[in-house]
Structure 1
Protein backbone atom coordinates (compact mmCIF):
# COMPACT_ATOMS: atom_id res chain seq x y z
CA UNK A 1 0.00 0.00 0.00
CA UNK A 2 2.88 2.35 0.82
CA UNK A 3 6.08 2.43 -1.19
CA UNK A 4 9.32 4.39 -1.14
CA UNK A 5 10.13 6.16 -4.37
CA UNK A 6 13.30 8.07 -5.24
CA UNK A 7 13.07 11.44 -6.94
CA UNK A 8 15.50 14.18 -7.95
CA UNK A 9 14.47 17.82 -7.78
CA UNK A 10 15.77 21.37 -7.57
CA UNK A 11 14.96 22.94 -4.20
CA UNK A 12 15.00 26.68 -3.68
CA UNK A 13 15.81 27.89 -0.17
CA UNK A 14 14.66 31.44 0.51
CA UNK A 15 16.71 33.81 2.73
CA UNK A 16 14.11 33.66 5.53
CA UNK A 17 14.93 29.92 5.91
CA UNK A 18 18.66 30.49 6.40
CA UNK A 19 18.37 30.36 10.22
CA UNK A 20 17.30 26.67 9.99
CA UNK A 21 19.80 23.86 9.44
CA UNK A 22 20.22 23.17 5.70
CA UNK A 23 18.77 19.64 5.87
CA UNK A 24 15.66 20.94 7.68
CA UNK A 25 15.16 23.73 5.11
CA UNK A 26 15.45 21.25 2.25
CA UNK A 27 13.05 18.77 3.87
CA UNK A 28 10.51 21.52 4.66
CA UNK A 29 10.58 22.73 1.04
CA UNK A 30 10.22 19.20 -0.32
CA UNK A 31 7.29 18.47 2.01
CA UNK A 32 5.60 21.73 1.00
CA UNK A 33 5.95 20.75 -2.66
CA UNK A 34 5.01 17.05 -2.52
CA UNK A 35 3.10 16.18 0.69
CA UNK A 36 -0.59 15.41 0.08
CA UNK A 37 -0.20 15.80 -3.68
CA UNK A 38 -0.60 13.29 -6.50
CA UNK A 39 2.38 12.82 -8.81
CA UNK A 40 1.41 11.22 -12.12
CA UNK A 41 2.24 7.51 -12.37
CA UNK A 42 3.83 7.60 -8.89
CA UNK A 43 0.92 8.01 -6.46
CA UNK A 44 -0.25 10.14 -3.55
CA UNK A 45 2.84 11.51 -1.80
CA UNK A 46 2.62 11.39 1.98
CA UNK A 47 5.93 12.92 3.11
CA UNK A 48 9.71 12.91 2.70
CA UNK A 49 11.30 9.76 4.10
CA UNK A 50 14.94 10.80 3.84
CA UNK A 51 17.38 12.87 1.79
CA UNK A 52 19.90 10.76 -0.10
CA UNK A 53 22.11 13.53 -1.47
CA UNK A 54 22.22 17.29 -1.90
CA UNK A 55 24.54 19.41 -4.01
CA UNK A 56 26.28 22.56 -2.89
CA UNK A 57 23.92 25.50 -2.96
CA UNK A 58 24.22 28.06 -5.73
CA UNK A 59 23.03 31.57 -4.94
CA UNK A 60 20.77 33.09 -7.59
CA UNK A 61 21.94 36.45 -8.98
CA UNK A 62 20.10 39.32 -7.33
CA UNK A 63 17.56 37.17 -5.45
CA UNK A 64 19.53 35.60 -2.61
CA UNK A 65 17.70 32.31 -3.20
CA UNK A 66 19.91 29.23 -2.81
CA UNK A 67 19.33 26.50 -5.43
CA UNK A 68 20.15 22.94 -4.33
CA UNK A 69 19.87 19.76 -6.43
CA UNK A 70 18.45 17.06 -4.16
CA UNK A 71 17.84 13.33 -4.42
CA UNK A 72 15.38 12.03 -1.82
CA UNK A 73 12.93 9.25 -1.07
CA UNK A 74 9.21 9.87 -0.57
CA UNK A 75 6.61 7.73 1.19
CA UNK A 76 3.88 7.22 -1.42
CA UNK A 77 0.41 5.66 -1.26
CA UNK A 78 -0.03 3.41 -4.28
CA UNK A 79 -1.62 0.01 -3.68
CA UNK A 80 -0.68 -2.68 -6.18
CA UNK A 81 -3.18 -4.64 -8.28
CA UNK A 82 -4.60 -7.52 -6.27
CA UNK A 83 -3.76 -6.00 -2.88
CA UNK A 84 -6.39 -6.36 -0.13
CA UNK A 85 -7.12 -3.11 1.73
CA UNK A 86 -9.67 -2.19 4.43
CA UNK A 87 -11.74 1.00 4.32
CA UNK A 88 -15.12 2.47 5.23
CA UNK A 89 -18.11 2.78 2.91
CA UNK A 90 -18.67 6.49 2.32
CA UNK A 91 -21.67 6.28 -0.03
CA UNK A 92 -23.69 3.93 -2.22
CA UNK A 93 -25.73 4.28 -5.39
CA UNK A 94 -27.09 2.00 -8.09
CA UNK A 95 -23.74 2.37 -9.89
CA UNK A 96 -21.77 0.96 -6.96
CA UNK A 97 -20.12 1.97 -3.68
CA UNK A 98 -17.57 4.59 -2.73
CA UNK A 99 -15.01 3.65 -0.11
CA UNK A 100 -12.75 5.98 1.84
CA UNK A 101 -9.58 5.58 3.84
CA UNK A 102 -8.60 8.15 6.46
CA UNK A 103 -6.48 10.03 3.90
CA UNK A 104 -7.82 8.94 0.49
CA UNK A 105 -11.41 8.76 -0.76
CA UNK A 106 -11.29 8.18 -4.52
CA UNK A 107 -12.02 4.44 -4.31
CA UNK A 108 -14.97 3.03 -6.27
CA UNK A 109 -16.55 -0.44 -6.37
CA UNK A 110 -18.69 -0.74 -9.53
CA UNK A 111 -21.85 -2.80 -9.19
CA UNK A 112 -20.56 -5.49 -11.55
CA UNK A 113 -17.61 -6.19 -9.22
CA UNK A 114 -19.75 -6.71 -6.11
CA UNK A 115 -20.58 -10.23 -4.91
CA UNK A 116 -23.05 -12.16 -7.10
CA UNK A 117 -26.64 -11.82 -5.85
CA UNK A 118 -25.97 -8.28 -4.58
CA UNK A 119 -28.83 -5.81 -5.06
CA UNK A 120 -29.21 -2.12 -4.32
CA UNK A 121 -31.85 -1.29 -1.70
CA UNK A 122 -33.21 2.13 -2.75
CA UNK A 123 -35.09 2.69 0.49
CA UNK A 124 -32.02 2.06 2.70
CA UNK A 125 -29.53 3.47 0.13
CA UNK A 126 -27.21 0.51 0.58
CA UNK A 127 -26.17 -2.69 -1.14
CA UNK A 128 -27.51 -6.03 0.13
CA UNK A 129 -25.80 -9.37 -0.51
CA UNK A 130 -27.97 -12.49 -0.28
CA UNK A 131 -26.01 -15.63 0.53
CA UNK A 132 -27.54 -18.99 1.56
CA UNK A 133 -30.75 -17.36 2.81
CA UNK A 134 -28.92 -14.67 4.81
CA UNK A 135 -28.93 -10.98 3.90
CA UNK A 136 -25.83 -8.87 4.57
CA UNK A 137 -26.25 -5.09 4.43
CA UNK A 138 -23.39 -2.83 3.33
CA UNK A 139 -24.30 0.30 5.31
CA UNK A 140 -22.58 3.66 5.21
CA UNK A 141 -19.50 3.79 7.54
CA UNK A 142 -19.23 -0.04 7.68
CA UNK A 143 -15.70 -1.42 7.40
CA UNK A 144 -15.09 -3.53 4.30
CA UNK A 145 -12.12 -5.27 2.75
CA UNK A 146 -11.61 -4.86 -0.96
CA UNK A 147 -9.21 -5.97 -3.69
CA UNK A 148 -7.56 -3.36 -5.92
CA UNK A 149 -8.46 -3.99 -9.57
CA UNK A 150 -7.32 -0.87 -11.50
CA UNK A 151 -5.72 2.54 -11.16
CA UNK A 152 -6.96 5.56 -13.09
CA UNK A 153 -4.76 8.58 -13.78
CA UNK A 154 -6.05 11.93 -15.05
CA UNK A 155 -3.73 14.69 -16.16
CA UNK A 156 -5.19 17.88 -14.73
CA UNK A 157 -3.44 20.44 -16.89
CA UNK A 158 -4.00 24.13 -16.20
CA UNK A 159 -6.97 25.72 -17.98
CA UNK A 160 -6.64 28.86 -20.08
CA UNK A 161 -8.36 31.91 -18.53
CA UNK A 162 -10.81 32.17 -21.44
CA UNK A 163 -11.96 28.56 -20.87
CA UNK A 164 -12.14 28.59 -17.04
CA UNK A 165 -15.86 29.35 -16.81
CA UNK A 166 -16.78 26.42 -19.05
CA UNK A 167 -14.34 24.15 -17.20
CA UNK A 168 -15.84 25.07 -13.82
CA UNK A 169 -19.17 23.52 -14.84
CA UNK A 170 -17.66 20.32 -16.19
CA UNK A 171 -17.34 17.26 -13.96
CA UNK A 172 -14.46 17.34 -11.48
CA UNK A 173 -11.90 14.64 -12.17
CA UNK A 174 -9.62 13.15 -9.59
CA UNK A 175 -5.94 12.98 -10.56
CA UNK A 176 -5.70 9.47 -9.09
CA UNK A 177 -8.51 7.02 -8.39
CA UNK A 178 -8.79 3.31 -7.75
CA UNK A 179 -11.37 0.76 -8.93
CA UNK A 180 -11.78 -2.20 -6.61
CA UNK A 181 -13.73 -5.45 -6.32
CA UNK A 182 -15.23 -7.26 -3.35
Structure 2
Protein backbone atom coordinates (compact mmCIF):
# COMPACT_ATOMS: atom_id res chain seq x y z
CA UNK A 1 0.00 0.00 0.00
CA UNK A 2 1.24 3.50 -0.79
CA UNK A 3 1.54 6.21 1.84
CA UNK A 4 2.70 9.82 2.03
CA UNK A 5 5.22 9.82 4.87
CA UNK A 6 7.15 12.62 6.63
CA UNK A 7 10.77 11.57 7.12
CA UNK A 8 14.05 13.07 8.25
CA UNK A 9 17.63 12.37 7.16
CA UNK A 10 21.09 13.79 7.71
CA UNK A 11 22.91 14.79 4.54
CA UNK A 12 26.60 15.71 4.37
CA UNK A 13 28.05 18.13 1.85
CA UNK A 14 31.70 18.46 0.81
CA UNK A 15 33.31 21.91 1.36
CA UNK A 16 33.86 22.35 -2.39
CA UNK A 17 30.06 22.72 -2.74
CA UNK A 18 29.71 25.51 -0.17
CA UNK A 19 28.12 28.57 -1.73
CA UNK A 20 24.83 30.22 -2.56
CA UNK A 21 22.95 27.15 -3.80
CA UNK A 22 23.81 24.80 -0.92
CA UNK A 23 20.16 24.02 -0.10
CA UNK A 24 19.52 22.96 -3.71
CA UNK A 25 22.60 20.73 -3.63
CA UNK A 26 21.48 19.18 -0.33
CA UNK A 27 18.05 18.44 -1.81
CA UNK A 28 19.60 16.95 -4.97
CA UNK A 29 21.92 14.75 -2.90
CA UNK A 30 18.99 13.64 -0.74
CA UNK A 31 16.98 12.59 -3.80
CA UNK A 32 19.96 10.72 -5.26
CA UNK A 33 20.72 8.91 -1.99
CA UNK A 34 17.19 8.04 -0.89
CA UNK A 35 14.81 7.52 -3.83
CA UNK A 36 14.33 3.86 -4.73
CA UNK A 37 15.84 2.48 -1.53
CA UNK A 38 14.46 0.09 1.05
CA UNK A 39 14.16 1.63 4.51
CA UNK A 40 13.42 -1.44 6.61
CA UNK A 41 9.78 -2.35 6.09
CA UNK A 42 8.96 0.06 3.23
CA UNK A 43 10.40 1.34 -0.03
CA UNK A 44 10.90 5.05 -0.69
CA UNK A 45 9.39 5.53 -4.14
CA UNK A 46 9.68 9.30 -4.67
CA UNK A 47 10.47 12.43 -2.69
CA UNK A 48 7.66 14.95 -3.05
CA UNK A 49 9.32 17.95 -1.41
CA UNK A 50 11.62 19.08 1.37
CA UNK A 51 10.04 21.20 4.08
CA UNK A 52 12.88 21.77 6.51
CA UNK A 53 16.60 22.08 5.80
CA UNK A 54 18.59 22.94 8.91
CA UNK A 55 21.61 25.19 8.99
CA UNK A 56 24.77 23.27 8.24
CA UNK A 57 26.98 22.03 11.05
CA UNK A 58 30.69 21.53 10.32
CA UNK A 59 31.87 18.04 11.27
CA UNK A 60 35.16 18.19 13.21
CA UNK A 61 38.16 16.69 11.45
CA UNK A 62 36.62 16.33 7.99
CA UNK A 63 35.34 19.78 7.06
CA UNK A 64 32.07 18.32 5.77
CA UNK A 65 28.85 20.14 6.56
CA UNK A 66 25.94 18.13 7.94
CA UNK A 67 22.34 19.18 7.29
CA UNK A 68 19.21 17.67 8.80
CA UNK A 69 16.53 17.55 6.11
CA UNK A 70 12.83 16.98 6.69
CA UNK A 71 11.01 15.71 3.61
CA UNK A 72 7.76 14.17 2.39
CA UNK A 73 7.99 10.97 0.39
CA UNK A 74 5.70 8.49 -1.30
CA UNK A 75 6.49 5.11 0.26
CA UNK A 76 5.27 1.61 -0.56
CA UNK A 77 4.82 -0.80 2.30
CA UNK A 78 3.75 -4.28 1.19
CA UNK A 79 1.32 -6.02 3.56
CA UNK A 80 0.31 -9.63 4.08
CA UNK A 81 -2.81 -10.22 2.02
CA UNK A 82 -2.01 -7.46 -0.50
CA UNK A 83 -2.42 -8.38 -4.17
CA UNK A 84 0.41 -7.23 -6.45
CA UNK A 85 1.20 -7.44 -10.15
CA UNK A 86 4.64 -8.87 -10.90
CA UNK A 87 6.85 -9.94 -13.79
CA UNK A 88 8.39 -13.42 -13.65
CA UNK A 89 12.21 -13.49 -13.51
CA UNK A 90 13.12 -17.16 -13.24
CA UNK A 91 11.21 -20.43 -13.23
CA UNK A 92 12.21 -23.81 -11.79
CA UNK A 93 10.39 -26.98 -10.69
CA UNK A 94 9.89 -25.61 -7.15
CA UNK A 95 8.13 -22.41 -8.27
CA UNK A 96 9.03 -19.06 -9.78
CA UNK A 97 10.65 -15.79 -8.74
CA UNK A 98 9.07 -12.51 -9.80
CA UNK A 99 9.60 -8.78 -9.28
CA UNK A 100 6.73 -6.57 -8.10
CA UNK A 101 8.48 -3.25 -8.56
CA UNK A 102 11.42 -3.36 -6.15
CA UNK A 103 9.99 -6.33 -4.19
CA UNK A 104 11.33 -9.84 -4.88
CA UNK A 105 8.55 -12.43 -4.72
CA UNK A 106 8.66 -16.25 -4.71
CA UNK A 107 5.62 -18.38 -5.56
CA UNK A 108 6.01 -22.05 -4.66
CA UNK A 109 4.49 -24.75 -6.87
CA UNK A 110 2.40 -25.73 -3.80
CA UNK A 111 0.77 -22.28 -3.88
CA UNK A 112 -0.46 -22.61 -7.46
CA UNK A 113 -3.77 -24.04 -8.72
CA UNK A 114 -3.80 -27.84 -9.17
CA UNK A 115 -4.24 -27.60 -12.95
CA UNK A 116 -0.91 -25.73 -13.31
CA UNK A 117 1.86 -28.27 -13.89
CA UNK A 118 5.63 -28.03 -14.35
CA UNK A 119 6.70 -28.75 -17.95
CA UNK A 120 10.48 -29.28 -18.08
CA UNK A 121 10.40 -30.30 -21.77
CA UNK A 122 9.15 -26.91 -22.96
CA UNK A 123 11.60 -24.32 -24.20
CA UNK A 124 12.03 -22.46 -21.88
CA UNK A 125 10.86 -24.71 -19.01
CA UNK A 126 7.54 -23.40 -17.69
CA UNK A 127 4.43 -23.90 -15.63
CA UNK A 128 1.35 -24.41 -17.80
CA UNK A 129 -2.22 -25.67 -17.71
CA UNK A 130 -1.92 -26.85 -21.36
CA UNK A 131 -4.55 -24.31 -22.37
CA UNK A 132 -4.17 -20.56 -21.97
CA UNK A 133 -1.79 -20.21 -18.99
CA UNK A 134 1.96 -20.23 -19.51
CA UNK A 135 4.23 -18.99 -16.73
CA UNK A 136 7.77 -18.41 -18.00
CA UNK A 137 10.30 -15.57 -17.66
CA UNK A 138 8.69 -12.28 -18.71
CA UNK A 139 5.12 -13.38 -17.90
CA UNK A 140 2.90 -10.94 -16.01
CA UNK A 141 1.26 -12.51 -12.95
CA UNK A 142 -1.03 -11.31 -10.18
CA UNK A 143 -0.10 -12.75 -6.76
CA UNK A 144 -1.28 -12.40 -3.19
CA UNK A 145 1.43 -11.79 -0.58
CA UNK A 146 1.21 -14.40 2.18
CA UNK A 147 4.49 -13.68 3.95
CA UNK A 148 7.17 -10.99 4.19
CA UNK A 149 10.75 -10.99 5.38
CA UNK A 150 12.75 -7.82 5.90
CA UNK A 151 16.40 -7.17 6.55
CA UNK A 152 18.46 -4.01 6.47
CA UNK A 153 18.05 -2.63 2.96
CA UNK A 154 16.19 -5.65 1.53
CA UNK A 155 12.73 -7.18 1.53
CA UNK A 156 11.41 -10.51 0.20
CA UNK A 157 7.91 -11.95 -0.07
CA UNK A 158 6.22 -15.31 -0.49
CA UNK A 159 3.17 -15.21 -2.71
CA UNK A 160 0.30 -17.36 -3.92
CA UNK A 161 -1.52 -17.48 -7.25
CA UNK A 162 -4.10 -19.96 -5.95
CA UNK A 163 -7.29 -17.92 -5.71
CA UNK A 164 -9.89 -15.99 -7.62
CA UNK A 165 -8.48 -13.39 -10.04
CA UNK A 166 -4.89 -14.45 -9.26
CA UNK A 167 -2.34 -16.01 -11.59
CA UNK A 168 -1.62 -15.22 -15.19
CA UNK A 169 -2.29 -11.57 -15.99
CA UNK A 170 -2.33 -10.08 -19.45
CA UNK A 171 0.48 -7.61 -20.03
CA UNK A 172 -0.79 -4.03 -19.97
CA UNK A 173 -0.99 -2.54 -23.43
CA UNK A 174 1.35 0.34 -24.01
CA UNK A 175 -0.22 2.55 -26.59
CA UNK A 176 0.54 6.12 -27.30
CA UNK A 177 -1.39 8.79 -29.09
CA UNK A 178 1.18 8.85 -31.89
CA UNK A 179 0.85 5.09 -32.48
CA UNK A 180 -2.94 5.34 -32.56
CA UNK A 181 -2.97 8.11 -35.16
CA UNK A 182 -1.39 6.23 -38.04
CA UNK A 183 -2.50 6.39 -41.68
CA UNK A 184 -5.13 3.63 -41.34
CA UNK A 185 -6.77 5.21 -38.32
CA UNK A 186 -6.61 8.68 -39.84
CA UNK A 187 -9.14 7.62 -42.48
CA UNK A 188 -11.59 6.38 -39.85
CA UNK A 189 -10.91 8.80 -37.01
CA UNK A 190 -9.99 12.41 -36.72
CA UNK A 191 -6.46 12.34 -35.30
CA UNK A 192 -4.62 15.37 -34.08
CA UNK A 193 -0.99 15.98 -34.84
CA UNK A 194 1.19 15.31 -31.80
Tell me the TM-score normalized by structure 1.
Answer: 0.72
Other structure's SS at 1:33 match: helix
Q: Distance in 2 between matches of 1:13 and 1:135?
A: 56
Alpha-carbon distance, 1:28 to partner: 2.0
Secondary structure at the counterpart of residue 38 of structure 2: strand
Stretches of structure 2 that go unaligned for 5 or more consecutive residues are 162-194
Q: State the alpha-carbon separation in 1 of the partners of residues 108 and 20 from structure 2.
A: 49
Distance 1:46 1:117, change over 3 A: same
Q: Offset at 1:73? A: 2.3
1:159 is aligned to none
Structure 1 residue 17 displacement after superposition: 2.4
Provide the C-alpha distance between the structure 2 equivalents of 1:23 and 1:127, rounded to a whole number of angstroms.
Answer: 53
> Tell me, what secondary structure is at the counterpart of 2:129?
strand
Tell me the alpha carbon deviations over residues 138-181 of structure 1, each in whole angstroms, 9 at most, x when there is no partner.
2321222122222111347xxxxxxxxxxxxxxxxxx2112111
User: Cα–Cα, structure 1 residues 128 and 10, in superposed 2: closer, same or farther, change >3 Å?
Assistant: same
CA distance in 2, matches of 1:48, 1:18: 23
Aligned residues between the structures = 159
Matching residue within 136, 142, 147 for 1:150: 147
Counterpart in the other structure of 1:109? 107
Larger Rg: 2
Q: Which residue does the alignment assign to 1:13?
A: 13
TM-score (normalised: structure 2): 0.68
Partner of 1:172: none
User: 1:148 touches 1:180 (CA, 8 Å); kept in 2?
Assistant: yes
Asked if the contact 1:36–1:46 (Cα under 8 Å) also holds between the matched residues in 2, the reply is yes
Does the CA contact (< 8 Å) of 1:27 and 1:48 recur in 2? no
Gap runs ≥5 in structure 1? 157-174
Q: Distance in 1 between matches of 2:38 and 2:142?
A: 24
How far has the Cα of 1:126 moved from its partner?
A: 0.9
CA contact (8 A) 2:103 2:155 kept: no
Q: Take 1:11 and 1:139, find their aligned partners in 2: how far apart are those partners?
A: 43
Which of 112, 130, 138 aligns to 1:141? It is 138
CA RMSD of aligned residues (A): 2.5
CA separation of 1:57/1:155 partners in 2, compared to 1, >3 Å: closer, same or farther? closer
Query: How far off its partner does 1:109 sit?
Result: 0.9
